[in-house]
Amino acid sequence: MNKYMEIENALRREFSSGKFISGRFPSEHMLMKRFGVARGTVRQALARLEADGLIARRRGSGTAAQQRTNPATGRLGLLIPDMAANMFFRLITSELVRCGQEGGYVILLGECAAEDSIASRRRNLLRFINQFISQHVEGVIFRPFIDERLHAANQTAANRLRKAGIPLVLIDSDLSHSPSRSNFDLVGINHVNAGRSAAEALMAAGCRNIHFLVPQSCTVTRDRVFGASGSIIAAGMEWDNSHVLRFAPDDTGSLKRLFGRKRRPDGIICGADCEAAALVRTLSQMKIAIPRDVALIGCDDTPESSASAPTVTTLHQPIPLIAQTALRIMRERIRDPLLPARVVLLDAPIVRRDSL
């Protein structure tokens, strides 16, 4: 661990113990002497504490501890952008609302529609964040935008909540690009392992030319592709960028070119069940039999995977457990804002159906 992180963690523990009352905090010189480090190292540690609102540093006035006491309002903010456009997002929203209400919270729901422009979605996100702050929510559960063009908006929203002293728990996806990590709690499935499991299931079924359908690139799909490609390469099979299919599942022209190759794909992983179900329909229209000609695997285990014909083998997201875990971590975060950021990654087992 870097020295500045050791200093940061030591000071956080002292905040938790109540050592620093509002306004009183050691000077940079005192911390340099205590920890035996240079001024730059102390300043790195203090910058991280300042970002979390634990201290305030002003030129000419030194460093002061901040008093952070949020009222117990019984309200939580829940923000799942693109909820209406994705079955998984709708299901996780419904379960979070149910679990929150059972836990005695009033859930304030915000939504940014997928069909809105980038600028409109950015404005709506920050509008909801400002509303949550003005309504004195005790915490916010947030599924960041997956569109790369809104990465900065995700960061701005998180920073506003942090400055307001409002805990944030992330669902499904981090704010930072993998393998980096933000300093916020995160609950979801292990996306790298999910990709690995999907590839291994296809290989066990005899597939030797596996592709991954990724209409929209984001941290989640990149992690799944990373897991899948690692397993495929480790098995001695071919993998390169051409195995990542960057077109929509109803793009008949691209699919005809793909299946017109001398070496056709015999296994395809889809990033979501909605994409897998759409691909089933397109391939059926093209007279490509599933799983005889090509096997398919989706992800999320939403109703779309079991309603298609043939039904789609998929990776099960434990939605009730994700919601329960997120609420538990939120309660713990509210009780102790100085806990280290935690990452809880749950298993996503294979649900075998007709497409494999």
Instruction: Give per-residue pLDDT as tens, 273-283.
Output: 999 999 999 99
| Contacts with 241 (C-beta within 8 Å, 6 or more apart), sequence order | none
* Domain match, 306 and 338 both: no
Q: pLDDT-based confidence at 89, cuts 50/70/90? A: confident
Which of residues 65, 97, 118 is at a domain's end?
A: 65
Domain count, the chain: 3
CATH number assigned to the domain comprising residue 127 = 3.40.50.2300
pLDDT in tens, 255-275: 999 999 999 999 999 999 999
What do you get for the CA distance between the two ends of the chain, in Å?
45
Domain limits for position 45: 3-65
Q: Is 336 helix (H, G, I), strand (E, B) or coil?
A: coil
DSSP per position, 268-323: EEESSHHHHHHHHHHHHHTT--TTTT-EEE-SB--HHHHHSSS--BEEBP-HHHHH
Q: Is residue 105 part of a domain?
A: yes
* Domain match, 233 and 159 both: no
- As a whole number, mean pLDDT of residues 163-176 equals 92
Q: What is the pLDDT of residue 173?
A: 92
Q: What proportion of the chain, given as a percentage, has pLDDT over 70?
A: 95
Cα separation, 238 vs 246, in Å, equals: 18
Least confident stretch, 62-76, 96-110, 318-332? 62-76
* Domain match, 51 and 116 both: no
* Domain match, 158 and 170 both: yes
pTM for this one? 0.79
331 residue type, one letter:
R
Q: pLDDT-based confidence at 252, cuts 50/70/90? A: very high
Which of residues 36, 65, 94 is at a domain's end?
A: 65
Residue 134 pLDDT more than 80?
Answer: yes
Cα separation, 148 vs 154, in Å, equals: 10
* Domain match, 309 and 195 both: yes
pLDDT in tens, 32-44: 999 999 999 988 9
Q: Is residue 70 part of a domain?
A: no
Residue 190 pLDDT more than 60?
Answer: yes
With beta carbons less than 8 A apart as the criterion, state whether 300 and 273 touch: yes
Q: Is residue 356 part of a domain?
A: no
Q: Is residue 354 part of a domain?
A: no
Q: Is residue 355 part of a domain?
A: no
